[in-house]
Amino acid sequence: MPADTTFPRCARLKLHCAGYQDVFRASNLSRKRSATPAHKPSHSAASLERQLSIFPGSDDERRLFEYFRNRVVFQLGGILDEDFWITTLLQASHSESLIRYSAIAIAAYIDQRNRHFRATRPQQSCNAALIYYQNALCKANQRTEPVDPELVAILSCPLFLCLEFLQGKKLQAMSLFLHGHILMQSYERGTHRHSATSGWATVNETLRPMYNRLMMMAKLFGHNFPINYSKLPFPSSPIPTLSAFNSLKSARDILFQHLVVAHEFVKGLNSTTCTSFSTHKHYLQRQEKLISQLDKWHSDFRQMCGSLDDPDHAVIATLSMWHATAVIWLRNPLEGFEMSFDESRDYFQVIVEKASQALATRQPIHDVFTFEMGVLPPLYFTALKCRHFSLRKEALRLIGNSPRREGLWDREELLTVASRAFALETAAQSDLTSLPSEPERLLKVKIFQQDASHELKAAFNYRNRKIEQVWNQIIQ
């Protein structure tokens, strides 16, 4: 990836830009494995304090790393992935400068954004973060540590993705994600005989489901990657049993496997040139099977949650939102029949109610950034596709109370677009409590992705395609 297109801000800051090509290269990397086992996570607070006392950096770097360790890391991945974010990465950061400077760059960006968000634009407050980002890339190209370089690159990939997400560089983030995915595949093929010494099994247990969720994020944004979904690690049984998951984390991972399959089915169905969906029995059978799998997951999920000693209600509510979203996808698989969404009011109601519960337990979160998808995508989907006035208005209100960023999802962008769609569809209605007619409904809403731009451009397409509203909006 050329440095001048990847990091245009580096040129403006007069920094040499190393780019990703030397960090996340999928080939030409040595297959030599370190004889030293990977660092084993330690939960000892005293050990962490001792490591911090000999922190190899300036006072400002130490302050930012403490901020990352004590504040930022807890909001990035949530409690379900705390072993990776809070333990594995923090331990690795003390011996790996690449990971350490990446963490410092994230802390610098979030710290400055929180301090100056209302006074300056984010672009004006991220120069220090970009300098630390450059330091991380330089460390990657000049690294001398004896630890496996590929494994370090894989561990640092989520941190680099965080930095791209924070800067709103969506296209760059997805390109980087693809590099990381290829590197993981390459590494896995070369380590199947060395998992005991490479530490790969532990890392793979967390990062493989994480990449599945990132794949879902990419698909929702319209990115198509050369990935065969049939080869993803889905449950061995077509209908998972209760034994398939016994924790919120495993339930989450299996649900997102179902989400990927459901989304791929719907998109694949709409891309075919076949005749009427109702005349193809195998499509109907596939639809029923996928819905049945989701129903079974939900039944097992409710049973498991009822047995938890200390349930995390925000996580439970968020997973329930995503389950309802998948069911709506499968119940309304064909594009062009917008009024069919009216029959899913009960599931839209679940999304709105569960979002309210999730947000109520995680305050204050107004300007929080999270690495994972949470409440924003299902709420945005509801605001576009649910035409019941009260539910739609509540979905818009909840979007405004959500975290500012969830991965690629930007609260202000989604709220602006969904509010515009709502205004267009209800403009001709005299009775706002009634449902819009089919000709008044938008068939598609497309956001044109522009990296790190404050200009928002979106198209609103009606079913008859005679009207298309395209407008530009400046968002802060």
Report residue 142 CA to chain centroid gap: 30
On the question of pLDDT at 40 being above 70, the answer is no
Three-state DSSP class for residue 324: helix
Percentage of residues in the chain having pLDDT higher than 90: 29
> Quick one: pLDDT band at residue 347, thresholds 50, 70, 90?
very high
- Tell me if 342 sits within 8 A of 329, measured CB to CB: no
**What would the mean pLDDT of 46-71 be, rounded to a whole number?**
75
pLDDT of residue 352 exceeding 50? yes
What's the token pair of residue 286? 């596939």
70 shares its domain with 160:
yes
Task: Tell me which of 221 and 238 has the higher pLDDT.
Answer: 221
Rounded CA-CA distance 193/312 in Å is 38
Average pLDDT, the chain: 77
3-class SS of residue 126? coil
Q: Are 103 and 353 in contact (CB under 8 A)?
A: no
280 and 306 together in one domain: yes
Interval 107-125 mean pLDDT: 64
Task: Provide the residue range defining the domain that includes 144.
Answer: 3-211
Q: What one-letter code names the amino acid at 63? A: R
Of the ranges 76-90, 279-293, 308-322, the best mean pLDDT one: 308-322
Give every strand in the sheet of 405-406, ordered side by side.
Answer: 369-370, 405-406, 409-410
| pLDDT of res. 1 | 36
**Residues 184 and 238 reside in one and the same domain:** no
Domain tally, the chain = 2
In a domain? residue 444: no
Q: Is residue 200 part of a domain?
A: yes
Residue in 312, 307, 322 with CA at minimum distance from that of residue 254 = 322
Element of type H or E holding 442: strand 442-448
Average pLDDT score over residue span 115-136: 63
Residue with tokens 């994230």: 106
The predicted model scores a pTM of 0.82
Over residues 420-443, the pLDDT tens digits come to 999 999 887 767 778 988 888 999
128 vs 1, higher pLDDT: 128
Task: Name the amino acid, one letter, at 326.
Answer: A
Domain boundary among 181, 211, 241: 211
**Greatest mean pLDDT among 177-191, 253-267, 367-381, 384-398:** 384-398
Q: Are residues 185 and 105 in the same domain?
A: yes
Q: Are residues 280 and 425 in the same domain?
A: yes
pLDDT surpasses 80 at 461 = yes
Asked whether residue 314 falls in the same domain as residue 376, the answer is yes
Do 251 and 153 lie in one domain? The reply is: no
pLDDT tens digit string along 268-295? Answer: 887 765 555 555 778 888 899 999 999 9
